[in-house]
Amino acid sequence: MKRTILSVILLLALGFLLMADTLVIKGSNTVLPIAQRWVEAFKKYYPDLAVTLEGAGSSTGIKALFNGTADLANSSRFLKSSEVEKMHAEGKYFTPIVIAYDGIAVIVNKSLPINDISRETLKKIYTGKITTWNQIDPSLPKKRITIYSRNTASGTFETWENKVLDKERMAPWVQMLESTQAEVEAIKRNPYAIGYVGYGYVTEDVKVLKVEGVAPSMKTILSGEYSISRPLFVFVDLSRFGNTWPETNVVAKFIKFIVSPEGQKLVEDAGYVPAYPTTSSE
């Protein structure tokens, strides 16, 4: 009898867990600081919601949408043509939501006496045509440039590849790192290093260079004056909801929250440029 009662209790508990709202978000390392703030604030409204949040690269998030292991994919890039083709072949319907704008900041060690750089020079550094700092300016140290990059799963890498490298191949000695934080830490320690990170990840531990005379800022990113800028996305697979927009479930509630004035204020708090007004018109 006791075993029967215990079994019933366990089944009821399991049923409760299965019925409980869950939300799985995967993808961009760049969007992660924003998403962390969203999740923390959203759970104040829905304290029983179980949220899984992972930031391992835009491609990782989009793959998770394909295999059904994520409800939402954060991405610092748009879909690749190959992903669009796969989406159509599999009968899926990934809809993008622009949630913020970002600039890719070029960073160096604070001790390096350089403040401005051109996109052409960046291209030459990353493709191996320039290897020492004094090749850029004779007044700079005659030291080999240590070059850091995000790995190929990163949407930041793909934006850099398109906007700076013109899709030329990176030099084989460029050091590919899995996280933006790792780049910042490496450049903080190395006086002759260079790298690139999302604007929201910039800290006082590194120096941000102007590109073509323009520094990244909320104003120059939003206006497009800063040339290495991009939108940030959240993708949702509408094929899971009958190819119509979700209106009442937890995914719908989360999407409404992140584009609301409160959600967009959190974008700003994370150091990015909001895509929508941060104050209510009411």
170 and 74 in a single domain? The answer is: no
Confidence at 5, pLDDT banded by 50, 70, 90: very low
Q: What is the mean pLDDT of the chain?
A: 90
Can you give the pLDDT at residue 15? 38
Same domain membership, residue 218 and residue 148? yes
Same domain, 109 and 219: yes
Same domain flag for 96 and 187 = no
Tell me if 71 is assigned to some domain. Answer: yes
Specify if 280 maps to a domain.
Answer: no
Instruction: Specify whether 145 is located in the same domain as 128.
Output: yes
Query: Contact, 63 vs 33, CB < 8 A?
Result: no
Residue 93: φ, ψ to 5°: -145, 85
The verdict on residue 194 lying in a domain is: yes
Task: Point out the domain boundary residue: 193, 211, 229.
Answer: 229
Q: Are residues 253 and 195 in the same domain?
A: no
Residues 250 and 225 in one domain: no
Q: Residue ranges of the alpha helices (H) in 67-210?
A: 81-89, 119-126, 155-163, 180-189
- What CATH number is attached to the domain comprising 155? 3.40.190.10
Residue 235 placed within a domain: yes
State the amino acid at position 39 in one-letter form: V
Is 91 found in the same domain as 121? no
On whether the pTM is more than 0.75, the answer is yes
Count of domains forming the chain: 2
Q: Does residue 193 lie within any of the structural domains? A: yes
Domain limits for position 148: 102-229
Give me the pLDDT at residue 280, please: 61
Out of 196, 214, 229, pick the residue that ends a domain. 229
pLDDT tens-place string over residues 170-189: 999 999 998 888 999 999 99
248 part of a folded domain: yes
User: Does the residue 10 lie in any domain?
Assistant: no
Q: Are residues 160 and 20 in the same domain?
A: no
188, part of any domain = yes
Query: Please, is 253 exposed, middle or buried when counting C-beta atoms within 10 Å of its C-beta (0-12, 13-18, 19+)?
Result: middle
Specify the range with the lowest mean pLDDT, choosing from 102-106, 114-118, 120-124, 275-279: 275-279
3-class SS string, the chain: CHHHHHHHHHHHHHHHHHHCCEEEEEECCCCHHHHHHHHHHHHHHCCCCEEEEEECCHHHHHHHHHCCCCCEEEECCCCCHHHHHHHHHCCCCEEEEEEEEEEEEEEEECCCCCCEECHHHHHHHHCCCCCEHHHCCCCCCCCECEEEEECCCCHHHHHHHHHCCCCCCCCCCCEEECCHHHHHHHHHHCCCEEEEEEHHHCCCCEEEEEECCECCCHHHHHHCCCCCEEEEEEEEEHHHHCCCCCCCCHHHHHHHHHCCHHHHHHHHHCCCEECCCCCCCC
Whether residues 208 and 113 fall in one domain: yes
pLDDT at 97 over 90: yes
Say yes or no: 165 and 240 in one domain. no
Residues 163 and 259 in one domain: no
Q: What is the pLDDT of residue 142?
A: 97
